[in-house]
Amino acid sequence: MAYHWFTPMRVIGIDFAASDMNYVVIDYHANGNVSVVSANRLSLSSTRSPEALRAFQQAFQTLVKDVSPLRIAIKFKPEKGAMKAGPAALKMEAIVLAAVPCEVHFISGVRINKCDPPEKPLNAYQFPADKAARCGCNVE
């Protein structure tokens, strides 16, 4: 899908937190305005259950099919160190990367922290996903 100046760029921002994938879908307009399309979370009920992994994969594929993003922006979590991603987050990230038909960009926590807070009333747990989406609009 080509991006045109008159077509809003649809971006899904993702933040993995424990066994949840928090996401915010935004439309970034050519004039710089951002509108929140939807915000929610998908959960991985078990990291060792093939059925749970398939259910998460199917739910994510449905999300992507329904919103047709041009880009996905994921808050970067290191695999090692104090702020490392847990096993559920790594599995969900792998499913997301295997299932996406569009660009994927990882956005650092430092860059996300510098991003302006959301204008729409979102839940606090959705702020990192919203900021990832907003930062994801400005990557080349």
pLDDT for 101-140, tens place per residue? 899 999 999 999 898 778 668 999 999 999 999 999 886 6
The whole domain housing 70 covers 9-136
The pLDDT score that the predictor gives to residue 44 is 97
pLDDT digits (tens, 9 = 90+) for 55-97: 999 999 999 999 999 999 999 988 776 666 788 999 999 999 9
DSSP state of 82: T
> How high is the pLDDT of residue 120?
64
- Token pair in block for residue 92: 């969900």
Euclidean distance between CA atoms 94 and 139, whole angstroms: 22
- Asked if the structure places residue 76 within a domain, the reply is yes
Give domain status of residue 69, yes or no: yes
Identify whether 20 is part of a domain: yes
Q: Is residue 3 part of a domain?
A: no
What CATH number corresponds to the domain at position 99?
A: 3.30.420.10
How many structural domains is the chain composed of? 1
Domain annotation covers residue 2: no
